[in-house]
Amino acid sequence: MSILSVVIFLVVTVGGGLAIGYLTRPDGWYAGLNKPAFNPPNWVFGPVWTILYVLIAVAGARVFAVAGGGTATAAWVAALALNFLWSPVFFGLRRPAAALVVVLALLAVIVVFVVLSWPVDRLAALLFLPYAAWVAFAATLNAAVVRLN
């Protein structure tokens, strides 16, 4: 795994995540939604996602270095695409139910990545476990918003 590869994965993942977050910031519509009691304060999301994006990038770079463009890398790309899709659907289109479908698909693809990357690079698979946990929480939160609104 080269430094250049890691940098590219970091720029795409962290840069893409920051750009999506900036372009689809929560607004008055989101503030007006009914949210469950377990909804974290808004300031939590930025630091959590930044850390997760670094882990996601490193996992992607590791799998790509070992397996190239194989199925684990394809699952990584699919997960990132679904991840980047969620905010525009939820905040941009204001469609929490559609965003729930996206986040559940994302969770499934994360699990697929873990399964596919485990025999290739166990550390990459393990780096995705906090991502899986946070996305499972996000899916629960998204489902509660759908239910409450």
Report the mean per-residue pLDDT for the chain: 96
| pLDDT, average across residues 49-70 | 95
Q: What is the pLDDT of residue 69?
A: 87
| Percent of all residues in the chain with a pLDDT value above 90, rounded to a whole number | 94
| pLDDT, average across residues 80-94 | 98
SS (H, E, C) 109-139: HHHHHHHHHCCCCHHHHHHCHHHHHHHHHHH
pTM for the predicted model, two decimal places: 0.95
Query: For residue range 26-48, what is the model confidence (pLDDT) as tens digits?
Result: 999 999 999 999 999 999 999 99
In whole angstroms, give the CA distance from residue 39 to residue 104: 18
**Architecture of the domain whose range is 3-148:** Up-down Bundle (1.20)
Between 129-148 and 96-117, two packed helices, what is the crossing angle to 10 degrees? 160
| pLDDT, average across residues 16-20 | 95
pLDDT at position 1 over 90: no
Do residues 142 and 96 touch, judged by C-beta distance below 8 A? Answer: yes
Q: What is the pLDDT of residue 131?
A: 98
Task: Name the residue ranges covered by the structural domains of the chain.
Answer: 3-148
In whole angstroms, give the CA distance from residue 99 to residue 107: 12
